[in-house]
Every structure is written in structure tokens, then in C-alpha cells.
């Protein structure tokens, strides 16, 4: 077994309510060990065997069966998260916000160019493999990008984003265990 981190897309926003205690129970029911969640935005840590895709499918299926809506899940290892956090493709100034957007796989060259082409005077997107580093000059509410911009390129339910500050705290908690 190895530690994996699952990022659940669009939970606990609007009507898409998911109790983190229930996520733990569902993942334990799938046979995963040492399952715990971090903050209420859909981050689950677990020990699992099998491929990343298999863990994603299993968690997605269990959550969809339980809640009745799609719950795309993006799984990474702690080592992958450390590498993502070490990669700083741009400076982040005072008052800026830095997110990482997780994708299923690295986009095609055309999709990579289209994603980075969404950059504007507020938002800067840099694709690195299956992650997109996203800097906003200001807060995330200042962003000029909307879900349909991403979905026009990658399709629906194809990504989920997390703030680098939260990711840093999550990795530190994993490392302390």
C-alpha cells in the first residue's frame, strides 16, 4: 500500500454537499487504510494499492452511488505533490493567489497552448504535465476565468483546483504522520 491523496471536484459548494466523515467511511468500505480528510473542500488521504486510475474510478463510483451526482476525483502521491509545490513557474507577489489545477493527464500540445492562451492581465496559466499552475493578481474572486473557459478546452468535470497554501499545509500534515 502507498499513500495517495484524492482531490474531489466541486464538493461542498451549492447543493453538492458531501460529509467528509462519510467520505472516510466510503473509502474504508473500498478497502483503503488510514483514511482521513483535510478541510471540508474534498481532500482525502488514504493508503491504497492499484493504479491511480483505479483509485480514482473506485472513489468516484462510491461517491456517485452515495450522493447521486458526478464526483470527479484526481489522485496524486505525496511525492508528486511535493514536486508540484517545488515547481514555481512564476513569481507570486504580495496579494497574489497561486492555485494548482489537477488534470487527469497531460493535455495535448494544442490543449496546452489553448490553456496557457487563457492567460490575461489578471490570470497566468502555466501547464506542467498534468497540473496547471494558476496565478491570479489578487484574490481568486478577481479572476477573469470561468469554468466554461476550461471546459471548452478540456471538457466537463475535467479538473479541480486547490490553493498552494492549502496544499503546502496538507503535505506538511502528511509528512508529520
pLDDT at 23: 95
Q: What integer pLDDT is reported at residue 14 of this predicted model?
A: 79
Of the listed ranges 11-15, 44-48, 58-62, the least confidently predicted one is 11-15
What percentage of the chain reaches a pLDDT higher than 70?
100
42: confidence class by pLDDT, cuts 50, 70, 90: very high
The domain ranges of the chain are: 2-76, 80-176
* pLDDT tier at 137, thresholds 50, 70, 90: very high
Secondary structure of 112-144 in HEC code, one letter for each residue: HHHHHCCCCCCEEEEEECCEEEEEECCCHHHCC
Which residues touch 37 (CB under 8 Å, ≥6 apart)? Answer: 20, 21, 23, 24, 43, 44, 45
Q: Which residue carries 500540445 as its cell?
A: 109
Report the predicted TM-score, pTM, of the whole model to 2 decimal places: 0.95
Kindly indicate the confidence band of residue 104, based on its pLDDT and cuts at 50, 70 and 90.
Answer: very high
- C-alpha 16/C-alpha 112 separation (Å) is 29
3-state secondary structure of 110: helix
Please tell me the distance from the alpha carbon of residue 5 to that of residue 24, in angstroms, as a whole number: 12
Same fold, 2-76 and 80-176: yes
Q: How many CB atoms lie within 10 A of CB 129?
A: 14
Q: Which CATH architecture has domain 80-176?
A: 2-Layer Sandwich (3.30)
Among residues 169, 100, 113, the alpha carbon closest in space to that of 140 is found at 100
Give the Å distances, CA to CA, from 92 to 20, 44, 99, 126, 138: 31, 27, 11, 13, 10
Fold held by 2-76: Alpha-Beta Plaits (3.30.70)
CA angle 39–43–46, rounded 5-degree value:
120
pLDDT of residue 1: 87
- Per-residue pLDDT at 172: 98
pLDDT > 80? residue 168: yes
Amino acid at each position: 500500500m502507498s499513500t495517495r491523496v484524492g482531490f474531489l471536484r466541486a464538493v461542498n459548494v451549492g447543493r453538492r454537499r458531501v460529509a467528509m466523515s462519510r467520505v472516510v467511511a466510503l473509502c474504508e468500505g473500498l478497502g483503503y487504510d488510514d483514511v482521513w480528510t483535510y478541510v471540508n473542500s474534498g481532500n482525502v488521504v488514504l493508503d491504497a494499492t492499484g493504479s491511480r486510475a483505479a483509485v480514482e474510478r473506485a472513489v468516484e463510483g462510491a461517491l456517485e452511488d452515495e450522493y447521486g451526482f458526478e464526483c470527479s476525483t484526481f489522485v496524486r502521491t505525496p511525492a508528486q505533490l511535493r514536486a508540484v509545490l517545488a515547481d514555481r513557474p512564476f513569481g507570486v507577489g504580495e496579494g497574489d493567489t497561486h492555485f494548482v489545477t489537477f488534470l487527469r493527464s497531460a493535455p495535448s500540445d494544442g490543449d496546452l497552448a489553448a490553456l496557457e492562451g487563457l492567460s490575461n492581465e489578471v490570470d497566468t496559466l502555466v501547464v506542467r504535465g498534468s497540473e496547471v499552475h494558476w496565478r491570479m493578481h489578487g484574490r481568486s474572486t478577481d479572476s477573469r476565468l470561468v469554468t466554461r473557459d476550461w471546459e471548452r478546452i478540456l471538457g466537463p468535470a475535467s479538473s479541480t483546483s486547490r490553493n498552494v497554501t492549502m496544499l503546502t499545509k496538507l503535505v506538511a500534515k502528511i509528512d508529520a504522520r
